[in-house]
Amino acid sequence: MKNRPEIVIVGGGFGGISAAKALRKTNCNITLVDKRNHHLFQPLLYQVATAALSPGDIAVPIRAIFGDDKNVRTVLGEVVSIDKTNKRIHISDDSSIDFDYLILAPGAIYNYFGNERWKSHAPGLKTLKNALSVRERILISLEEADKLDDPQDRKKYLTYAVIGAGPTGVEMAGAIAEIAKRNMMRDFRNIEIEETEIFLIEAAENVLNGYPEDLSNKAKSDLEEMGVKVLLNNPVKSIREDGVELENSFIETPNIIWAAGVKASPLLGSLDCNLDKMGRAFVEEYLNIPDHDSIFVIGDAAHVKDEDGQPLPALAPVALQQGKYLAKLIKKRESGKKTSSFKYVDKGTMATIGRAKAVADIRGLKFSGFLAWMLWSVIHIFFLIGFRNRFRVFAEWMWHYLTFKRGVRLITNEPDGSQTDSDDS
Amino acid sequence: MKNRPEIVIVGGGFGGISAAKALRKTNCNITLVDKRNHHLFQPLLYQVATAALSPGDIAVPIRAIFGDDKNVRTVLGEVVSIDKTNKRIHISDDSSIDFDYLILAPGAIYNYFGNERWKSHAPGLKTLKNALSVRERILISLEEADKLDDPQDRKKYLTYAVIGAGPTGVEMAGAIAEIAKRNMMRDFRNIEIEETEIFLIEAAENVLNGYPEDLSNKAKSDLEEMGVKVLLNNPVKSIREDGVELENSFIETPNIIWAAGVKASPLLGSLDCNLDKMGRAFVEEYLNIPDHDSIFVIGDAAHVKDEDGQPLPALAPVALQQGKYLAKLIKKRESGKKTSSFKYVDKGTMATIGRAKAVADIRGLKFSGFLAWMLWSVIHIFFLIGFRNRFRVFAEWMWHYLTFKRGVRLITNEPDGSQTDSDDS
């Protein structure tokens, strides 16, 4: 009789977590590997970046999710290569894990289009570290502005440049516009709210390029009504420490956020299979890579064609459905049952349409956009943690939503070159 | 008629904040300078270090405290020198601020006794950055231990060395001993709680040296009962990346916390006045430095003699009383009233005796020690924020206290040398 099947899942995002959850009470051993110790609700990262939420509000330790599941093992580690022949993954600490089935859900990272040196000036918004870095810049800029009496000197500190007008960029620009309205701004005596200037910079010809045109147009006009200056057809020429260089102008600011393009995790490079121009792996009908029936790729790292031959979008519900599908597939395989191809069902959920909708309904209703996202994530984490904690998490989230806790406006890093108590790290 | 007096306060800790608060509705301009943007409730830092509380739970943006006070200006900056003659302070960004009265409350930093290179291996517990650094080490160590099957390999990751058995060290050692009992540990499958080894290392001959002997003895026996190995008469010879070298032994561990001694902020060096061996400035009866009637030093940075000629301890209630005293002194001076010397009144408060008491009452009552501290800080922050927010903060704190939110077990830093998404910062 065969041993318990070993299923290795790489990535603790929506895809990896949903696959692991669906395999919880089965007769297999699951090892979930992630280079971070937490599952992150990425759609709300921009709220951490604008000091409206704490990291702890949008992240859950992966171990906590599977605390009660005896057949799920969590490993903190970075996968560096995949040995398809021997069915083994290698981790950066030189250990390796053998598998019967491998589910790769490593997600995506920001694409700087070859200009990696821009990264230090313009963080993306994919990780908690990103978000905290952006938060720090914003808070320090406000502090610097507050020290200066001449509005001309203050200008750059109160200028923000968000690069990329996809959903993330649009949300971030909107969230920054909202900072100006928060009580927090009253605490900065020298700053006039009207001095704030927010640029949303996009190389293509519209905001939310690729979405239905009426949605794109509405998002643009709503952002403009909030005071955001939307610059279209404006590819970035260069990003420097002191600002953003466009074709015909230079925006002086230390507050630059990159939301301009994603590419799939470079881990896929070790799979030796075809990748699309965003680095995503082309997968077959069972979400498996070609010529291998037990290695799968899902989520933002996978190029899965829908019925029209178009790749499925990089959205959470896609990854969630794929994770659940694979769990079913594996169960069927193990019990010799008939399997079927993956088929994405677009339920028109709040998350799929909701993000664009939330974005579109900005005027006076951004609030409900935020509410929609908060509910989405509350529900998501709610069902993630387990019954025992549900009440607590739910109440906590509702409380935070209602009270916009101020405690997160913290600059926790030490000032550079401080003469005292300068911690290394 | 004289202009409004300019009062500059350096330091947003207990001393600086209490002085500023007491001067709120007076006819003077207050400028509060701190190199960090938040007021920190230091006594609970060890709870952030053991992932029981979030940074946002124990820190408040200084601006938020004085949001409604028109005569209080907050400046984020590091004071680099003090010009006594011209009554001016210089800040690291090359700006300067003139004063009529200067209150220096810059606090203390950890003393590595000349061995600054030990700092990167053994962070202290004075700042949020410290606490988050310790938290990260502890969480990563647990993750590393969980990957290993051989208990011998795991040993060092489950070993902790706290250096210095003063109140901070004792609290930290106790808190680590408690981690082992938390639900969290069930999530690490490979680790047996009994494998955890905690060392509290002290050069002197007792724990809480300087406190009443029966308290010291009780603290020691209670810690030992919790499983902490207390090593007395054991000065540290050297601290390396892989462990602590004592006279006759070596403790192999990456988890080293420094709580072995404090010294006053080096800023006092620019005062050109006598300092004690901890770097504290000797002050006179009005808490002023010698030969200057309008520069004052309070809190951990001041050497203030009590009636027996002994220096007052570096505790929060001392700084609080001193801050309030100076506010009164300044008000009296400005209105030509008679002033009196500073006299510390030891109310035997929960904080003065309470810390030792909380520490002493460890067995089964450490819980009430924690409760005592939580109440202390709730009350402290409660009255700090202002009526509008009191209910919210109070409810939030009680909620956290009751629920030990898991969300803070987050490693937010990116893994070193990660191939993907490696943020500079």
CB contact under 8 A, A410 and B139: no
Question: Is B325 within a domain?
Answer: yes
CB contact under 8 A, A407 and B57: yes
Is the Cβ of B130 closer than 8 Å to some Cβ of chain A? Answer: yes
Strand extents, DSSP E, A164-309: 197-201, 228-231, 236-240, 243-246, 250-252, 255-258, 262-264, 281-282, 295-297, 302-303
The confidence score (pLDDT) of residue A185 equals 77
Higher pLDDT: A345 or A19? It is A19
Is the Cβ of B85 closer than 8 Å to some Cβ of chain A? Answer: no
Select from B56, B127, B415 the Cβ nearest to the Cβ of A78.
B415
A294 plus A251 within the same structural domain: no
A235 plus A122 within the same structural domain: yes
> What six digits make up the tokens of B341?
């010397």
The confidence score (pLDDT) of residue B373 equals 58
Question: Is A203 within a domain?
Answer: yes
- ipTM score of complex: 0.74
Q: What is the mean pLDDT of residues A324-340?
A: 95
Q: Which residues of chain B have pLDDT under 50?
A: 1, 349-368, 386-389, 401, 403-407, 417-425
User: CATH number for the domain including B100?
Assistant: 3.50.50.60
Chain B from 181 to 210: CB within 8 A of any A CB: 183-184, 186-189
Residue at a domain's end among B231, B260, B289: B260
Q: Among residues of chain A, what percentage have pLDDT more than 70? A: 81
B232 plus B277 within the same structural domain: no
A213 plus A225 within the same structural domain: yes
Chain A from 2 to 41: CB within 8 A of any B CB: 35-38
The confidence score (pLDDT) of residue A349 equals 42
Answer yes or no: are the C-beta atoms of B322 and B298 closer than 8 Å: yes
> What six digits make up the tokens of A173?
């620009």
Any idea which of A18-32, A154-168, A217-231, B111-125 has the lowest mean pLDDT? Answer: A217-231
The confidence score (pLDDT) of residue A216 equals 83
Select from B37, B419, B425 the Cβ nearest to the Cβ of A411.
B37
A93 plus A151 within the same structural domain: no
User: CATH number for the domain including A143?
Assistant: 3.50.50.100
Tally of domains within chain A: 2
Residues in chain A with CB shorter than 8 Å from the CB of B120 are 423-425
B165 plus B87 within the same structural domain: no
A274 plus A227 within the same structural domain: no
The confidence score (pLDDT) of residue A407 equals 45
B132 plus B244 within the same structural domain: yes
CB contact under 8 A, A396 and B392: no
Residues in chain B with CB shorter than 8 Å from the CB of A406 are 60-61, 64, 389
Active-site hit among B6, B136, B144, B171: B171
Select from A73, A78, A405 the Cβ nearest to the Cβ of B418.
A78
Residue at a domain's end among A334, A354, A375: A334
Is the Cβ of B123 closer than 8 Å to some Cβ of chain A? Answer: yes
A304 plus A245 within the same structural domain: no
**C-alpha span between A408 and A259 (Å, rounded):** 23
A98 plus A121 within the same structural domain: no
Backbone angles phi, psi at B108, to 5 degrees: -130, 160
| Residue A211, SS3 per DSSP | strand
CB contact under 8 A, A140 and B408: no
Is the Cβ of B403 closer than 8 Å to some Cβ of chain A? Answer: yes
Residue B282, domain extent: 6-35+77-110+262-334
Please indicate whether residue B205 is annotated as part of the active site: no
Amino acid at B366: K
Higher pLDDT: B53 or A404? It is B53
**C-alpha span between A41 and A127 (Å, rounded):** 10
Name the most confidently modeled range: A65-69, A235-239, A314-318, B127-131. A235-239
Name the most confidently modeled range: A148-162, A202-216, B183-197. A148-162
Question: Is A280 within a domain?
Answer: yes
A249 plus A317 within the same structural domain: no
CB contact under 8 A, A128 and B186: no
Residue with tokens 């540290």: B236
| Close Cβ partners of B5 (under 8 Å, ≥ 6 residues apart) | B27, B28, B29, B100, B101, B330, B334
Neighbours of B215 (CB within 10 A): 17
Question: Is B235 within a domain?
Answer: yes
Q: Return the CA Rg of chain A.
A: 22
Mean pLDDT value across chain A: 83
Higher pLDDT: A49 or A325? It is A325
**C-alpha span between A161 and A254 (Å, rounded):** 9
Question: In Å, how far is B356's CA from the nearest CA of chain A?
Answer: 26
Chain B from 52 to 81: CB within 8 A of any A CB: 54-57, 59-61, 63-64, 66-67, 73-78, 80
**C-alpha span between B415 and B149 (Å, rounded):** 22
**C-alpha span between A32 and A38 (Å, rounded):** 12
CB contact under 8 A, B143 and A76: yes
Question: Is B47 within a domain?
Answer: no
Question: In Å, how far is B337's CA from the nearest CA of chain A?
Answer: 33
The residue among A207, A52, A51, A197 whose CA lies nearest residue A134 is A51
pTM here is: 0.80
CB contact under 8 A, A55 and B403: no
A279 plus A305 within the same structural domain: yes
Is the Cβ of A408 closer than 8 Å to some Cβ of chain B? Answer: yes
The confidence score (pLDDT) of residue A359 equals 43
Select from B67, B147, B266 the Cβ nearest to the Cβ of A95.
B147
Question: In Å, how far is B60's CA from the nearest CA of chain A?
Answer: 6
> What six digits make up the tokens of B50?
């053991």
Question: Is A351 within a domain?
Answer: no
Answer yes or no: are the C-beta atoms of B368 and B333 closer than 8 Å: no
CB contact under 8 A, B419 and A78: yes
pLDDT at A424 over 50: no
Is the Cβ of A411 closer than 8 Å to some Cβ of chain B? Answer: yes
Given pLDDT bands bounded at 50, 70 and 90, which one contains residue A382? Answer: low
pLDDT digit string (tens) for A60-95? 889 888 888 999 999 999 999 999 999 999 999 889
The confidence score (pLDDT) of residue A373 equals 58
pLDDT at A147 over 60: yes
Question: Is A417 within a domain?
Answer: no
Higher pLDDT: B363 or A277? It is A277
Q: What is the mean pLDDT of residues A201-216?
A: 85
Residue of A38, A187, A239, A416 to mutate for B, most B C-beta atoms under 10 A: A187
Select from A56, A73, A410 the Cβ nearest to the Cβ of B59.
A410
The residue among B315, B308, B310, B383 whose CA lies nearest residue B348 is B315
Residue at a domain's end among B318, B334, B350: B334
Question: Is A31 within a domain?
Answer: yes
pLDDT at A191 over 80: yes
The number of C-beta contacts closer than 8 angstroms across A and B is 210
DSSP string across B186-233: GG-TT--GGG-EEEEE-SSSSTTBTB-HHHHHHHHHHHHHTTEEEE-S
CB contact under 8 A, A421 and B75: no
Active-site hit among A171, A197, A225, A284: A171
